[in-house]
Chains A and B, each alone.
Chain A
C-alpha cells in the first residue's frame, strides 16, 4: 500500500498499510520505542471505500488477514483508532498460539495481576494507572495465556483512554506520550496513551498469574469471592479464541481457574480501586 508501518507488540508482529499518511505518522510517533518484527504475523489495511474517497470526505475501511464482514468505516480523523481496532481484530480472530483473554494485566515481582470485566468496568484505566505507580504495565486489552506453561505474556499496545479516563492522564504524563484527542468516535472520546518505557522494554518477559480481579466501577466499595465454576464461565466469555483452541484451551483455562485466587471488586473511584488492589495483592497473591 501507499504508506506502511511495522511494529511488534509482545509476541505479535504487525504490518499496517494505509492509503493515507496521517494514521501511519501517528502510529510511528506513538510506537516509536517499539521494535519492528522480522516477519509480521498479521496485516492490517486502512483503505478508501471508493478511490475518490481518499480525498473527498475520506472514510477509512478496516481490512486485514481477518476481518468482520459488516465493519463500518470511520472518518479519517479517527484513522489511528481504525488501525488499533484492526490490530485488535487480527489478535481476536487470528491468534492461535495463546489463549486470549479480554483482560488487562500488570506485573510485580514476576507475578501478574489480571483484571477482566465488561466494557466500561474500568479494567483498562486501572491497569494504565497502576502502570504509572510502580507496576509493570502488561496490557489493557488482551492477556495471552501460554498453552504449555500457563504463564501470561504481555501485549502492551497503546492504552485506549476513553471519556472521563482521559483527564486522569492529561497533565500527569508527558504530553508526547498522548495521541490526538478523537471526539465522538463509536466508543465516545478516545485518546491513546503510550505505555511507560519499562513496559515496552520488558514486553517479552512473561509473568506467572497470581491474582484475578473482576473490577466494577461506580459502585459502593465491596469485595466478593467468586466460585470456580463462575470464574470459568466468565473467562470463557472473556476469551476470543477459547472455542477455536479446543482441548488445549480447556486445559489452559481450567488449570488457570483452579490455581489463581479471584475476587470481584466494586469501587466508587479510581483512588479507592488502587487501594483495594494493593490490599488484595498483599493478602492473596502468592
Chain B
C-alpha cells in the first residue's frame, strides 16, 4: 500500500448532524464529538470510496464541487487532511 494514501472510517462509524453550515459529527469508535467546517466533511465522504492520495482525493472532490481556478488546491487539501489526521478521523493507510 502506498504510504501517501489516507484512510477514514466507513460512514456508518459516524453520526452526522448538519447545524447552520457546519457538520456535527459523533465518531463512534472514539466516542468523541467533532464540529467540522467545509471541506472537512466532504473529504470524509470522498474517502468513503476507498483509500486515496491527496491528488486522487482532489479529483474525487472536483467531480462534485466547483473549486474555480486555483494553483494551490492540493496544498490546501493536504492542510485540511493534516487537521483531520490530528483529530483522529483520518489516518495514513
Cα–Cα, bound, A228→B35 (Å):
11
Cα–Cα, bound, A233→B36 (Å):
12
Within 8 A of B (CB), among A211-251: 227-229, 232-233, 236, 243, 246-247, 250-251
Contact of A246 among B19, B20, B22, B31 (CB under 8 A): B31
Interchain Cβ contacts within 8 Å, total number: 32
Let me know if A258 is at the binding interface, CB within 8 A.
yes
Give the nearest-CB partner of B31 in chain A: A246
Contacts of A250 in B (CB 8 A): 15, 24, 26, 33
| CB <8 Å contact, A243 and B31 | yes
Known: A247-B15, A247-B28, A250-B15. A233 touches B20 (CB 8 A): no
Summarize A's interface: helix, strand, loop or mixed: helix
Give the nearest-CB partner of A247 in chain B: B26
Contacts of A236 in B (CB 8 A): 33
Known: A236-B33, A250-B33. A229 touches B28 (CB 8 A): no
Contacts of B19 in A (CB 8 A): 227-229, 232, 254, 257-258
Contacts of A243 in B (CB 8 A): 31
Cα–Cα, bound, A29→B22 (Å):
51
Q: In whole Å, how far is A141's beta carbon from the nearest beta carbon of chain B? A: 24
Q: List 21 A-B contacts (CB under 8 A).
A: A227-B19, A227-B20, A228-B20, A229-B20, A229-B22, A229-B24, A229-B35, A232-B24, A232-B35, A236-B33, A246-B31, A247-B15, A247-B26, A247-B28, A250-B24, A250-B26, A250-B33, A254-B19, A254-B24, A257-B19, A258-B17
